Structure 1
Amino acid sequence: MNDRDFDPVLDELSTWAGDAGPLDPAARHRVRNRLLSTMEVRRRPLWERPGPRIAVSGLATAAIAATVLVAVRDDGGTDQGTATAKPTATADTRQPAMRPVSARTVLAGAAAYERKHSQAPATPPRGDQFIYTKEIIKETNQKTGETKTHVDEIWRSVDDSQRSWIMEIGKGWWSDPPKKDESSWPPQDWATLEKLPTDPEKLILSLVPKSGPNDKNDSLAGITDQEWSVVHSDLAGLLKLVPVMPEGLRPAAYEALSRVPGVRTVPDQKDAKGRTGVAITYKDPTLPKGVTSFGGYFIFDPKTYEFLGFKDDRTSGDGAKKKTYIQLSYLDSWAITDKVKQRP
């Protein structure tokens, strides 16, 4: 691999300010895709790939250097809880083990649930509006057992023409629109979302990087591990960061996710409300051992396959000062607003 392949990434790193706000989740997985495209010798070279939008961050250099791709949700102000100790499991309190179920079954069920219970808004968001989300995160320090609850409120510009307000673990900052030669994934813009295929196979193929103008990407058979990693990251970003979609797109994304090699189920996972569900996660063969892929765990009801929330890891510091957290989160509400920081 030629050192020049790193030049675009290094140039961007050199311009990052040390006192800037941290990476938001969308920026994290876009940075990851940029690194994947420059660090790996691929079956076919990247061509015509939408340019990732790179957020400025004082934590970015460390995050990228370690390829830390934990999915920390966009966070708001915090309401601190009290430290609680985990109860010891006993024969009386232990939940009965779930029967084994495949990722394809869970995600097909999730798609069916979405088709039955969700619908597109009567009036789609305009480009000059904002998507407001309110999320709840319960974060537990794995060493001390201390749990804090964060209430997160975010306003994202629909067409990326205006500044968005992003918060993460109690720290908020303005996210500027992408530059002229940059684009953003996942899109919030309705017209862009409507162009995404609602057929799961076509949706996957639309996310595979092209090698040239005549590359039709017409088969799943030739997709490499590296390309599957990018596809998974894009699908996870779409499902995690876009609360409102055109009809049929979210079910298609679930079904597409089920076809990614390495996606598997993990039974008996607790969500932020204490409910026991079955989780979907991804073992990325392109990442170093111990590094978590973007997306964490998607937790579903084991009977209805209703989506319950996320489970993610977060680390801070290093060496003796390194701390590890488990985050359980869910979307409390969302709305379309005319102004940033306008509550519905």
Structure 2
Amino acid sequence: MRDIDELRELRDFDTGAPPLDDGTRRRARARLLTAINGPAVRVRAQRPVLRIALSGALAAAVAVGVLVAVQDDGTRTHRTANPPATSAPAMRNMSAQMVLKGAAAYAREHERTVSPRDDQFIYTKEIIKETDQKTGVTKSHVDENWRSVDGSKRSWTMEIGHGWWSPPLKANETVWPPQDWSTLRKLPTDPEKLILVLADEHSSRTKSLDDLTDEDWWSIHFSLAGLLKLVPVMPEGLRPAAYEALGMVPGVKLVPNQKDAKGRTGVAITYDDPTLPKGSVGFGGYFIFDPVTYEFLGFRDVRTSGDGAAMKTYTQLSYLDSWAIVDRVKERP
């Protein structure tokens, strides 16, 4: 009976620590299920992984922010993250989930509802500022893109000042994130349903969020980050749902005091990938938000070019300057 009494005392013991948030609980449950249901050594599932759809020298120069095609080689890359900024007292009561829920509410209130025709193009103008981490030299780029609404026409794509024609998809060819409006419109605008749709791409056993493992969550984060980074204009309700779904991913965290491309100080959301070495960050970088209104301010990421001693590393800040629906490729609003 003594053991039972001790367990009861332990159950009633108050450490003074705050209760676990939903994300931490999901991660703990996911790891427990993985330990119960699988071997001690985890083998990465052979799920199609995003890779940049470029070729030649341009592919070596571009690291993020372009249309990505689904591949089956199972490879992935990572880079070392910069140390997070020191936590400010005003930020200590904030959480990634609070910021992303606020961002979803802001997006719902301010999003412009559009219904483009299949024969039209979505025009976007993005500003990118890159700083060489070694020399401190900063260069700015203006990228203008024209994306075919239904994907049946070739599109014009730019990345850090370089442009190229993106041909229509071939039969049975798919990309993530989807670029055609009809496919985007089919994605759920309920965050939990959106997560389960993304999970079902590589797991037929998923019934609820509690069934997801660390590996599943990594893949879901990868898909959500790609959707939010690479599709600047979405059907009504999809972006808010993606923000809320991102906040449900275990390992998503808040980093305060981050500057955007305009020099404004915001709070950033990034992801601690449990499948990578500590101190590394995977695809997605930092999403920067206004700390009061939760308006999305832009992205912060890292890009590398070259190899070996000639490799250069850049801090990349970017934001969407404007967008419009136009009738022809290369037509400006």
Q: Kindly indicate whether residue 91 of structure 2 is the aligned counterpart of residue 102 of structure 1.
A: no
Distance 2:272 2:87 in 1: 26
Distance 1:134 1:287 in 2: 33
Shift of 1:96: 6.2
Q: What amino acid is the match of 1:160?
A: G
Give the 5 Å matches for 1:245-264.
245-264=234-253
Q: State the SS of the aligned residue for 1:298.
A: strand
Q: What amino acid is the match of 1:338?
A: D
Moved more, 137-146 or 22-31: 22-31
Q: Kindly indicate whether residue 217 of structure 2 is the aligned counterpart of residue 177 of structure 1.
A: no
Q: What amino acid is the match of 2:247?
A: S
Shift of 1:210: 4.7
Contact 1:98 1:268 (8 Å CA) reproduced? no
Residues 30/98 of structure 1: CA separation in 2 closer, same or farther (3 Å cut): farther
CA RMSD in angstroms, aligned pairs only = 3.0
Distance 1:328 1:304 in 2: 20
Instruction: Tell me the residue number matched to 2:332.
Output: 343
Moved more, 165-174 or 305-314: 165-174
Q: Kindly indicate whether residue 108 of structure 2 is the aligned counterpart of residue 119 of structure 1.
A: no
* Bigger-Rg structure (1/2): 2
Contact 1:161 1:177 (8 Å CA) reproduced? yes
Instruction: Tell me the residue number matched to 1:146.
Output: 137
Distance 2:301 2:147 in 1: 22
Q: State the SS of the aligned residue for 1:327.
A: strand
Q: What amino acid is the match of 1:106?
A: V
Give the 5 Å matches for 1:1-344.
18=56, 25-28=65-68, 30-31=70-71, 34-35=72-73, 38=74, 67-68=77-78, 98-100=90-92, 101-121=94-114, 124-210=115-201, 215=204, 217-288=206-277, 291-344=280-333
Contact 2:87 2:256 (8 Å CA) reproduced? no
Q: What amino acid is the match of 2:243?
A: Y
Shift of 1:309: 0.7
Q: State the SS of the aligned residue for 1:313.
A: strand
Residues 218/169 of structure 1: CA separation in 2 closer, same or farther (3 Å cut): same
Contact 1:130 1:339 (8 Å CA) reproduced? yes
TM-score (norm 1): 0.73
Distance 2:253 2:128 in 1: 24
Distance 2:69 2:179 in 1: 16
Shift of 1:143: 0.5
Instruction: Tell me the residue number matched to 1:84.
Output: none
Residues 17/117 of structure 1: CA separation in 2 closer, same or farther (3 Å cut): closer
Contact 1:204 1:256 (8 Å CA) reproduced? yes
Contact 1:108 1:255 (8 Å CA) reproduced? yes
Contact 1:113 1:304 (8 Å CA) reproduced? yes
Q: Percent identity?
A: 64
Q: State the SS of the aligned residue for 2:281.
A: coil
The Cα offsets for residues 19-47 of structure 1, whole Å up to 9 and x where unpaired, read as 5666673444745xx44xx46xxxxxxxx
Contact 1:311 1:326 (8 Å CA) reproduced? yes
Shift of 1:301: 0.5
Shift of 1:135: 0.5
Q: What amino acid is the match of 1:327?
A: Q
Q: What amino acid is the match of 1:339?
A: R
Distance 1:111 1:105 in 2: 10
The Cα offsets for residues 306-329 of structure 1, whole Å up to 9 and x where unpaired, read as 111110100111221111100111
Q: What amino acid is the match of 1:111?
A: A
Unaligned runs of 5+ in 1: 40-63, 71-93
Residues 175/105 of structure 1: CA separation in 2 closer, same or farther (3 Å cut): same
Residues 268/97 of structure 1: CA separation in 2 closer, same or farther (3 Å cut): farther
Contact 1:69 1:294 (8 Å CA) reproduced? no
The Cα offsets for residues 87-122 of structure 1, whole Å up to 9 and x where unpaired, read as xxxxxxx9965422111100011111112222312x
Q: What amino acid is the match of 1:113?
A: Y
Unaligned runs of 5+ in 2: 1-44, 81-85
Q: State the SS of the aligned residue for 2:158.
A: strand
Q: What amino acid is the match of 2:96?
A: A
The Cα offsets for residues 276-305 of structure 1, whole Å up to 9 and x where unpaired, read as 000000111223556532211100000111
Q: Where in structure 1 do 4 or more consecutive aligned residues deviate above 6 Å?
A: none
Shift of 1:247: 2.0
Residues 262/128 of structure 1: CA separation in 2 closer, same or farther (3 Å cut): same
Q: What amino acid is the match of 2:181?
A: W
Q: What amino acid is the match of 2:91?
A: R
